[in-house]
């Protein structure tokens, strides 16, 4: 039923559609559970904008409307180089849109799966530290992202920026999380640990880029990846296998002290 409703009511805008006489839709960038994202031209001004349209089926629910308002509010609060700048919220033809800065660059999903980029342990540690500095700032502002995955971290001008704050919320909020799926519960929990958990999986995506399977037997990441003991310990805490971290600064400190030399493990 949900799929049918989306097909009937959540169809994306056509290329060339002009919103409020100012923004011309160029193409669809992505379609998520809460919204549809477009690349658009601002008429009379050079450059592009990203426009996020709330799905009609989400706008019918109080939770959906709350999520849309929360995203706009959080982006306004941040106003940081690490996050896309918000320009305005539009109400056009009975629908709601957020107009944001277009960040040109490549996501880690692009780098891994389209460019075939390979990341070793030292590069992964360096990337994690940079992202964690930004995440630490978010947390100090009382905000958690809750969706720090490879499509939502983008390399732009030599800097890693965070996009898609659709699931972000304040640490003071109370939100029901589906506890039937343990991984989803850990990723979406209203806690700083949810961001660390997501970044642990992000790191594994990078590390597996240089992994070549040696057989059909499925093994754990600790068995398959040749990582230093220090980095393995950090990842176990981020993934909440061991006592989890409570502060991004502690992770950064442990990553800094990690040995860059990999210790071979038997397979």
Mean pLDDT of 238-267: 80
Q: How far apart are CA 93 and CA 18, in angstroms?
A: 11
Determine the distance from the C-alpha atom of residue 110 to the mean position of all C-alpha atoms in its chain, rounded to a whole number: 14
Q: What is the pLDDT of residue 177?
A: 66
- Which residues of the chain form CATH 3.30.200.20? 8-101
In sequence order, what DSSP letters do the residues of 36-51 get, joined into one string?
A: EEEEEEETTSSSEEEE
Catalytic residue among 79, 110, 147, 250: 147
Cβ distance 82 to 162 under 8 Å? yes
- Which residues of the chain form CATH 1.10.510.10? 106-257
**Weakest mean pLDDT among 64-68, 110-114, 254-258:** 64-68
Cβ distance 203 to 128 under 8 Å? yes
Cβ distance 116 to 143 under 8 Å? no
Q: How far apart are CA 141 and CA 77, in angstroms?
A: 9
Q: What is the pLDDT of residue 183?
A: 79
Q: How far apart are CA 157 and CA 103, in angstroms?
A: 10
Q: How far apart are CA 131 and CA 107, in angstroms?
A: 13
Q: How many CB atoms lie within 10 A of CB 6?
A: 16
Cβ distance 36 to 56 under 8 Å? no
Residue 94's contacts (CB-CB under 8 Å, 6 or more residues apart) are none
What is the CATH code of the structural domain delimited by 8-101?
A: 3.30.200.20
Position 215 pLDDT exceeds 80:
no
User: Whole-number mean pLDDT of the chain?
Assistant: 87
Domain 106-257 has CATH 3.30.1330.10: no
Most confident of 82-91, 147-156, 176-185: 147-156
Cβ distance 3 to 33 under 8 Å? no
Mean pLDDT of 66-86: 85
Q: How far apart are CA 75 and CA 161, in angstroms?
A: 13
Give the residues across from 27 on adjacent strands: 39
Position 208 pLDDT exceeds 50:
yes
CB burial string 111-123: b at 16+ within 10 A, e below: bbeeeebebebee
Share of the chain above pLDDT 90, in %: 63
Whole-prediction pTM value? 0.87
147 is catalytic: yes
Q: What is the pLDDT of residue 70?
A: 84
Mean pLDDT of 246-265: 78
Element of type H or E holding 98 = strand 95-101
Q: What is the pLDDT of residue 128?
A: 98
Q: How far apart are CA 142 and CA 30, in angstroms?
A: 28
């Amino acid at each position: 039923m949900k799929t049918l409703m989306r097909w009937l009511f959540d169809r994306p805008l056509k290329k060339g559609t002009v919103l409020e006489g100012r923004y011309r839709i160029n193409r669809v960038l992505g379609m998520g559970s809460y919204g549809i994202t477009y690349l658009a031209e601002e008429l009379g001004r050079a450059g592009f904008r990203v426009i996020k349209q709330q799905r009609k089926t989400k706008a019918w629910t109080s939770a959906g409307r709350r999520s849309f308002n929360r995203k706009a509010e959080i982006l306004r609060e941040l106003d940081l180089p690490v996050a896309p700048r918000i320009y305005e919220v539009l109400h056009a033809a009975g629908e709601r849109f957020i107009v944001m800065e277009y960040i040109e660059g490549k996501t880690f999903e692009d780098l891994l799966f389209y460019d075939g980029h390979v990341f070793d342990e030292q590069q992964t540690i360096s990337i994690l530290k940079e992202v964690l500095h930004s995440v630490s700032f978010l947390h100090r502002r009382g905000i958690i992202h809750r969706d720090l995955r490879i499509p939502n971290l983008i390399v732009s001008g030599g800097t890693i920026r965070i996009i898609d704050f659709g699931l972000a919320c304040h640490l003071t909020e109370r939100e029901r999380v589906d506890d039937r799926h343990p991984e989803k519960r850990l990723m979406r929990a209203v806690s700083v640990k949810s961001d660390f958990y997501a970044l642990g999986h992000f790191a594994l995506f990078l590390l597996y880029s240089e992994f070549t399977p040696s057989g059909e037997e499925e093994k754990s990441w600790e068995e398959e990846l040749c990582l230093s003991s220090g980095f393995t310990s950090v990842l176990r805490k981020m993934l909440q296998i061991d006592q989890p971290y409570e502060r991004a600064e502690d992770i950064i400190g442990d990553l800094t002290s990690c040995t860059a030399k990999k210790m071979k493990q038997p397979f």
